[in-house]
Amino acid sequence: MAKRDYYEVLGLAKNASEDDIKKAYRKLAMKHHPDRNQGDKSAEEKFKEAKEAYEMLSDPEKRAAYDRFGHAGVDPNMGAGRGGGAEAYGGFAEAFGDIFGDIFGQQGGGGGRRGGPQVYRGSDLSYAMEITLEEAARGKETQIRIPSWDECGTCHGSGAKPGTSAKTCPTCNGAGAVHLRQGFFSIQQTCPHCHGSGKIIPEPCGTCGGEGKVKKTKTLEVKIPAGIDEGMRIRSAGNGEPGTNGGPPGDLYIEIRLKKHEIFERDGDDLHCTVPTPLTTAALGGTIEVPTLGGRAEIELPEGTQHGKTFRLRGKGIKGVRSSYPGDLYCHITVETPVKLTEHQRKLLKELDDSFRKGGDKHSPNTKSWTDRVRDLFK
C-alpha cells in the first residue's frame, strides 16, 4: 500500500512553517496515541503515520530531500516502520515533549524546564471611587492613595537577616518547581517549600519578615473621562501588587460608583427628573423652568397638562464615553394638589368644583372614561 503524502498526513500545505508542522503533529499525537486508545489498531497506525511525517518534515535536510524526490528521497524505514507497541514510539509524555512545559509553570516567564525559579505576575487590585453625577458628566482629575511596596531598607531586598543569606531550596534544587508523575502524565507544580522562589531564608529579616519589601502607600493621579457611568472601570497598568521573583506587577482597576443625585436619575446617556407643577399651571398652561446639568431650561406647558406627562429636551443628557452625541433629558410632570388651604381658598375651590360639575364631563374626560369602565365591571 502506497504511503500518503507527509503534508497530507499532517493536513498542511507545502509552505507550512516549522511551527505549523509542530502544532499539527501535537494535535494528531494527542488524538491517536496508543496510550489513550488502548487496543485501537486504527489509532495506532494513524499515530505511526503522523510520527513518521513529523520526523521527516521537522528535519530541514530530510524535508528538502522529500520536497525534491518524494518518498524516494528519504529513508522509508524511519519512524513508523519500526517495531510495535507503545515502547516503539515512546511513552505519552515523551511523544509530547514540551507540551506540559507550555502549560505548567511557564506562564509569565516561569522556570520549570529552564531550571530557574518560578516567576509570577502580581495580583490585580481594585479601588472603588464614588463620584457625583456632575463629575461623571464632565470628567475630572483627582488623586487617590493606594498600597505600594518599597525595597526593605534593612535587608536591601534580600529578605534575609543582615549578615546572613538565602540558601538554595533542597526540595527543588533551586528550580522553584517539582514534578509529579501520575501514570503517563508528568505534572509540574510550584515547590511547596520555597513557593517557587528557588530559595529559602533560614533567618528572615526582622523588618520585612523575609519578604524583601515593605508596604507603604503612594499617591496616584487619576483622570476620570467625561461621560463615565456606574460600574465602569479605569485600568492603571502596573499599579497592582508586585510580581514574585521578578515577575511583572498586576494592574489597578478603579471601579466607578455614582452618588445618588437629588434631582436627576441616569439611564445610560439619558437623564430623568420629576417636575412638581402647581394645579393651576397644569390647568391653565404656561412656562415652567426645569434644571439641566448645564443650567436652566424652559418648558411650555399646554393648557390641561395631565399628571405624568413627559417632556423631552434633546441633547440635555450626558455624552457617554463611547457616544458621539449626548443623550436627552426627560421631564416627568407631577401635578401637585394644594394643601393647607385657607377658608377663602376653599370657598373658591368649591365654586370652581360646582362650575366643573355644571359643565358636565367635558372638563374631566379621563374621570368619565374610568367611571364608565367601573360601571361596566359590576353590571
Helix H, strand E, coil C: the string for 115-174 is: CCCCCECCCCEEEEEEECHHHHHHCEEEEEEEEEEEECCCCCCCCECCCCCCEECCCCCC
Residue 41 forms part of a structural domain: yes
Q: Quick one: 254 and 129 in the same domain?
A: yes
Query: Does the global pTM surpass 0.85?
Result: no
Is residue 220 domain-shared with residue 156, that is, in the same domain?
Answer: yes
Specify the 3-state DSSP secondary structure of 300: strand
Q: Is the pLDDT of residue 79 over 90?
A: no
Q: How much is the average pLDDT of 156-164?
A: 85
Output the domain CATH number for residue 58.
1.10.287.110
Of 146-150, 167-171, 329-333, where does mean pLDDT reach its minimum? 146-150
Q: Is residue 103 part of a domain?
A: no
Question: What is the percentage of the chain residues whose pLDDT exceeds 90?
Answer: 36
Neighbours of 83 (CB within 10 A): 9
The residue ranking higher by pLDDT, 220 or 84, is 220
What is the pLDDT confidence band of residue 262, given thresholds at 50, 70 and 90? very high
> So what's the pLDDT on residue 292?
95
Query: Which of 195, 226, 258 is the last residue in one of the domains?
Result: 258
Same domain, 75 and 172: no
Place of cell 507540551: 99
Say whether both 232 and 303 belong to one domain.
Answer: no
Q: Is residue 105 part of a domain?
A: no
**Stretch 268-291: mean pLDDT:** 94
With cut-offs at 50, 70 and 90, classify the pLDDT of residue 107.
very low
Instruction: Based on the fold, state whether residues 139 and 215 are members of the same structural domain.
Output: yes
Choosing from 210, 229, 258, the residue where a domain stops is 258
Q: Is there a single domain that holds both residue 79 and residue 198? A: no
Q: Does 341 have pLDDT greater than 50?
A: yes
Q: Quick one: 134 and 42 in the same domain?
A: no
**Which range of residues forms the domain containing residue 87?**
6-97
Same domain, 214 and 322: no
Whether residue 129 sits in one domain with residue 253: yes
pLDDT of residue 208: 87
Structural domain includes residue 112: no
